[in-house]
């Protein structure tokens, strides 16, 4: 409509023209018609002024915001209505309310629970993390030295910051409205401290002529910082250990602001009764924040080193355990195979192993076996009864021990027979038979291949003697000088033979036989041969022998000499004295060479 | 719990600090008195079944009472005016401090203590001198910080007066 009128300004004047009669009116209408219409309409609107919902809806949000900034009267007037509305709403549709509250409550409860859990875990974690490290050890030492609990020392060292106490203080009186502390903090005289904090503020303010709104913002004492948030009627003093982040300040200021909004009347009319401020506790407790130094990820070096050491130790132990085991089995194998030792049982006694069984006194010392395999000998005990083993090895050992054979004799055992090989003196051989039979497990002795060195020597000497011949000149019983020397050789052989005979225990006679050549008469030859034999005997008789006896006999013409008859050379060989050993094999025990003195 | 702030007022060396010491063993040392000009202690009392935390501000001032910071008086619910019985001039100072207190905090209860009663032989202060103050005080008492005579009673009396008002 409006639009139509404005777009066709010619038509209204025509309307007025019908009504008016005066010229002036006409003129006015002609000149001011459009404005007149507008004025009329404005008047009409003012006369019937009602704020339409449209207009209110346009300004309502801003209006509420503006008013809330100005003061809290709007809030105050809203409270009863809201409360009633809420109450009514709960009455009418409780399900709706509980549905909408449930998620909030749920998450709030979850949050509270998880916070409690986190705090618990954190202190546990830290304690664990640090209890293994080098750092941890140092702190343990510190804890021990200072007498503080380890957890507390860890806390102090790992803390970046921690809000320890909050004082909500009434500004005008300096009285303490509420006070919260972090866990483990003990406090005394909060009321006095609260007053002192206010006094110090006043002091600073007065001293440096600051306005009432200004105030001390922070104090620092060593590791402690006190942050002071100023409100119109309350101040919030926060005691922080460590270095707090700046954004904590916002948290504190916001807390103080919201407390102001909530308790403005109580703060204004505060007369010393702090009961109403007990409800501020959760808000203040929310400010009890803490942050810890992050430990670098990964295992701590000290922990790794410890692990490596442990592993090495374990390896070393395992190596030794297996070596130990190896040595033990080796030992058992060895002792099991050892002749003359029979292990019947192995028992654990007082932490050591004791072997029970039998041992031939000639068997190897078991301690030596232990030593050889390298097993520690004091970890093993032996309880071995003595016995005589009849195994070939032990019989052999015993034979060696009993017979004490010279190095040139080899002793071996074949079943129950002892076999001797090699050569030995007559003295040893003559005893060996008897001794050998006394060895347990021996019932036969074989000495076929055992050579008697004394017999051998005797035979050698006998041969040597019997090949000797002393030659005489034709028809003479006198010895030429050359042959005289030879008799000395013969005498030497005889002396040796005499010694051997003593050793062998034999009586010994030597025939000294004289011969002659066939030249000449038989009777003369006999005489001559006799003469020659006696001549040699005389020479050989001195010095006397121990058992040897010499007998001179004339044999007449040499029977062998005839085979080469006719030759002067053959005859010359017949004019001689030869020797023959006649053994008188008397059996008596052999005697020491030196013991026997003369026949 | 009810908390009340009270102040100790009086000339230099009348025994204010000694009186507080009689009552509590505080956490702050006396050096705060000279540096910050105040030392604060707390004392929990039980007045007819009502717990009361008394926060006691011991103000430092030499004889020039103007040096007492008015801001420290703010918010007090009562005060203790101390006179040294052995020194006449302390009466004057007490009067002026009383005026200052009434001006700054308004008509709050106070007790008037004539201290050093143990030295009663040397007393120079006589009753007429304090008659003005005596009429307004809720209690006038002769006390001794040295012997402890009347000290606790004086604080209790002030507490009762404060709880009543
Ligand atoms: N004999 C006696 N001396 C006191 C008494 N009270 C305080 N004094 C002494 O007076 C001096 C000043 O006391 P102080 O408490 O420091 O006074 P303040 O300046 O008012 O705090 C000190 O030497 C006290 O020992 C009292 O009751 N009797
Ligand atoms: Mg003093």
Q: Are residues A58 and A40 in the same domain?
A: no
The verdict on A221 and A347 lying in the same domain is no
Residues A256 and A119 in one domain: yes
Residue of B9, B15, B61 best suited for mutating to test ligand 1, as the one with most atoms within 8 Å of CB: B15
Residues A267 and A369 in one domain: no
Of B27, B75, B77, the CB nearest to A189: B27
Output the residue whose Cα is nearest ligand 1's atom 19: B13
What are the tokens at B87? 């020194």
- Residue A273 in contact with partner chain B when CB distance is under 8 A: yes
Q: What is the pLDDT of residue A51?
A: 73
What does the alpha-carbon distance between residue A422 and residue A416 come to, in Å, rounded to a whole number?
20
B38 in reach of chain A (CB within 8 A):
yes
pLDDT per residue rounded down to tens, chain B (165 residues) = 899 999 999 988 899 999 999 888 766 667 666 667 788 999 999 988 899 999 999 887 665 555 667 788 889 999 999 999 999 999 988 998 899 899 999 999 999 999 999 999 988 888 777 888 888 899 999 999 999 999 999 999 999 999 987
Report whether A333 contacts A387 (CB < 8 A). no
Nearest to B42 among A172, A192, A272 (CB): A192
Residues with a CB atom less than 6 Å from ligand 1: B 10, 12-18, 115-116, 118-119, 144-146
Q: Please, what is the average pLDDT of chain A?
A: 81
- Tell me the residue ranges of DSSP E strands in A523-589: 548-557, 576-584
CA separation for the pair A543, A395 (Å, rounded): 49
> Both A132 and A274 in a single domain?
yes
pLDDT at A598 (0 to 100) = 34
Residue A594, pLDDT score: 34
Residue A203 resides in a domain: yes
A180 and A35 share a domain? Answer: no
| Domain annotation for chain B: domains and CATH numbers | 2-164 (3.40.50.300)
In a domain, A468, yes or no: yes
Number of domains in chain A: 5
Q: Look at residue A3 in the predicted model and tell me its pLDDT.
A: 43
**In this model, does residue A9 exceed pLDDT 50?**
no
State the CATH number of the domain containing residue A364.
3.30.300
**A356 and A471 together in one domain:** no
Question: Which residues of chain A from 140 to 199 reach within 8 Å of chain B, CB to CB?
Answer: 170, 172-176, 188-196, 199
Pick the more confident residue, A280 or A151.
Answer: A280
The span from the CA of A550 to the CA of A350, in Å, is: 81
Render pLDDT for A156-189 as a digit per residue (tens, 0 to 9): 777 788 899 999 999 889 999 999 998 877 778 8
Q: Do A274 and B28 touch (CB under 8 A)?
A: no
Exposed/middle/buried for A16, CB within 10 Å: 0-12, 13-18, 19+? middle
Task: Judge if A239 and A142 occupy the same domain.
Answer: yes
- Structural domain of residue A28, as residue ranges? 17-46
**Residue from B2, B5, B6, B106 to probe the interface with A (highest A Cβ count within 10 Å):** B5
Residue bearing the bigger pLDDT, A295 or B116: B116
In a domain, residue A104? The reply is: no
What pLDDT score was predicted for residue A5? 43
Considering Cα of B14, then B20, then B25, then B30, what sign does the dihedral take?
A: negative
pLDDT for the residue numbered A14: 47
A233 in contact with B, Cβ within 8 Å: no
Q: A191 vs B27: CB contact, 8 Å cut-off?
A: no
Q: Which residue has the tokens 């009116």?
A: A25
Beta-sheet pairing, A507-516 with B2-10: unpaired
| Same domain, residue pair A176 and A249 | yes
Asked whether residue A165 is domain-assigned, the answer is yes
Report how far residue A593's alpha carbon sits from residue A44's, in angstroms, rounded to the nearest whole number: 179
Looking at residue B7, what is its pLDDT? 93
Whole-Å CA distances, A28 to A8, A22, A39? 18, 10, 14
A144: left (phi over 0), alpha (psi -120 to 50) or beta: alpha
**Domain contains A39:** yes
Note whether B57 and B7 are within 8 A (CB): yes
Who has greater pLDDT, A49 or A451?
A451
Compute, in angstroms, the gap from residue A92 CA to the centroid of ligand 2: 67
- Are residues B1 and A275, on separate chains, in Cβ contact within 8 Å? yes
Is A173's CB within 8 Å of B76's CB?
yes
Which CATH number does the domain housing residue A280 bear?
Answer: 3.30.450.70
Q: Answer yes or no: do A241 and A223 share one domain.
A: yes
Is residue A282 included in any domain, yes or no?
A: yes
**How much is the pLDDT for A1?**
40
* Rounded distance from Cα B80 to ligand 2 centre (Å): 13
Is a pLDDT exceeding 60 seen at residue A57? yes
Residue A427 lies in a domain: no
CA atoms within 13 A on the CB side of A142: 15
Helix (H) / strand (E) containing A370: helix A366-373
Residue A424 lies in a domain: no
Do A256 and A377 lie in one domain? The reply is no
In this model, does residue A326 exceed pLDDT 60? yes
Atom of ligand 1 nearest to the CA of B119: 1
Name residues whose C-beta falls within 8 Å of residue A519's C-beta, 6 or more positions apart in sequence: A474, A475, A571
Question: Is the same domain home to A78 and A141?
Answer: no
**CATH code of the domain in which A470 resides:** 3.30.1330.60
φ/ψ of residue A567, rounded to 5: -110, 130
């Amino acid at each position: 409509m409006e639009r139509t009128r404005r777009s066709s300004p010619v038509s209204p004047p025509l309307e007025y023209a019908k009504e008016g009669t005066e010229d002036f009116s006409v003129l006015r209408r002609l000149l001011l018609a459009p404005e007149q219409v507008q004025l009329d309409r404005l008047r009409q609107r003012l006369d019937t002024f009602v704020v339409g919902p449209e207009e209110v809806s346009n300004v309502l949000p801003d209006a509420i915001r503006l008013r809330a900034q100005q003061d809290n009267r709007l809030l105050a007037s809203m409270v009863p209505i809201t409360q009633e509305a809420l109450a009514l709403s709960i009455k009418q549709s409780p399900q709706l309310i509980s549905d909408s509250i449930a998620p909030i409550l749920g998450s709030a409860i979850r949050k509270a629970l998880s916070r409690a859990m986190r705090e618990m875990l954190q202190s546990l974690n830290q304690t664990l993390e640090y209890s293994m490290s080098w750092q941890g050890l140092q702190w343990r030492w510190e804890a021990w030295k200072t007498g503080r609990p380890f957890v507390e020392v860890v806390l102090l060292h790992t803390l970046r910051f921690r809000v320890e106490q909050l004082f909500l203080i009434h500004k005008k009186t300096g009285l303490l409205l509420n006070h919260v502390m972090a866990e483990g903090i003990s406090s005394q005289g909060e009321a006095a401290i609260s007053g002192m904090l206010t006094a110090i503020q006043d002091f600073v303010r007065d001293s440096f002529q600051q306005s009432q709104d200004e105030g001390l913002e922070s104090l620092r004492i060593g590791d402690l910082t006190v942050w002071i948030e100023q409100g119109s009627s309350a101040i919030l003093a926060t005691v922080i250990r460590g270095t707090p982040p700046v954004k904590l300040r916002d948290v504190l200021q916001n807390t103080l602001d919201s407390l102001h909004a909530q308790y403005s009347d109580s703060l204004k009319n505060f007369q010393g009764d702090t009961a109403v401020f007990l409800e501020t506790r959760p808000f203040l407790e929310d400010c009890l924040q803490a942050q810890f130094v992050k430990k670098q990820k990964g295992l701590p070096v000290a922990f790794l080193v410890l692990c490596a050491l442990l592993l090495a130790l374990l390896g070393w132990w395992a190596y030794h355990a297996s070596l130990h085991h190896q040595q033990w089995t080796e030992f058992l194998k060895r002792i099991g195979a050892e002749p003359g030792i029979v292990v019947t049982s192995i028992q654990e006694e007082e932490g050591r192993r004791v072997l029970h069984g039998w041992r031939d006194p000639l068997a190897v010392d078991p301690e030596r076996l232990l030593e050889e395999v390298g097993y520690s000998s004091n970890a093993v005990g032996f309880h071995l009864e003595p016995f005589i083993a009849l195994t070939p090895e032990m019989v052999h050992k015993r034979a060696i021990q009993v017979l004490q054979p010279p190095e040139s004799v080899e002793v071996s055992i074949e079943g129950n027979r002892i076999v001797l090989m090699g050569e030995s003196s007559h003295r040893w051989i003559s005893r060996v038979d008897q001794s050998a039979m006394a060895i347990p497990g021996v019932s036969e002795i074989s000495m076929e291949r055992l050579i008697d060195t004394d017999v051998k020597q005797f035979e050698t000497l006998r041969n040597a003697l019997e090949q000797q011949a002393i030659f005489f000149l034709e028809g003479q019983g006198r010895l030429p000088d050359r042959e005289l020397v030879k008799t000395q050789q013969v005498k030497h052989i005889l002396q040796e033979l005499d010694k051997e005979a003593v050793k062998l225990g034999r009586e010994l006679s030597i025939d000294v036989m004289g011969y002659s050549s066939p030249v000449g008469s038989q009777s003369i030859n006999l005489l001559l041969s006799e003469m020659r034999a006696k001549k040699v005997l005389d020479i050989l008789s001195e010095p006397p022998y121990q058992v040897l006896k010499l007998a001179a006999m004339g044999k007449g013409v040499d029977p062998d000499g005839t085979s080469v008859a006719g030759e002067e050379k053959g005859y010359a060989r017949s004019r001689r004295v030869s020797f023959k050993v006649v053994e008188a094999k008397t059996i008596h025990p052999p005697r020491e060479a030196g013991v026997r003195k003369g026949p | 719990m009810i908390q009340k702030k009270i102040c100790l007022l009086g000339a230099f060396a009348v025994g204010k600090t000694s009186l507080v010491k009689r009552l509590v063993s505080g956490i702050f040392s006396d050096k705060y008195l000279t540096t910050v000009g105040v030392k604060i202690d707390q004392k929990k009392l039980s007045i007819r079944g009502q717990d009361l935390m008394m926060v006691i501000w011991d103000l430092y001032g030499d004889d020039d009472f103007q040096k007492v910071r008015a801001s420290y008086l703010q918010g007090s619910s009562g005060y203790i005016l101390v006179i040294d019985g052995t020194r006449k001039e302390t009466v004057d100072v007490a009067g002026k401090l009383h005026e200052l207190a009434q001006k700054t905090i308004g008509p709050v209860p106070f007790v008037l203590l004539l201290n050093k009663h143990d030295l009663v032989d040397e007393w120079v202060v006589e009753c007429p001198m304090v008659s003005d103050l005596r009429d307004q005080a809720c209690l006038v008492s002769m006390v001794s910080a040295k012997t402890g005579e009347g000290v606790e009673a004086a604080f209790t009396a002030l507490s009762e007066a404060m709880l009543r008002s």
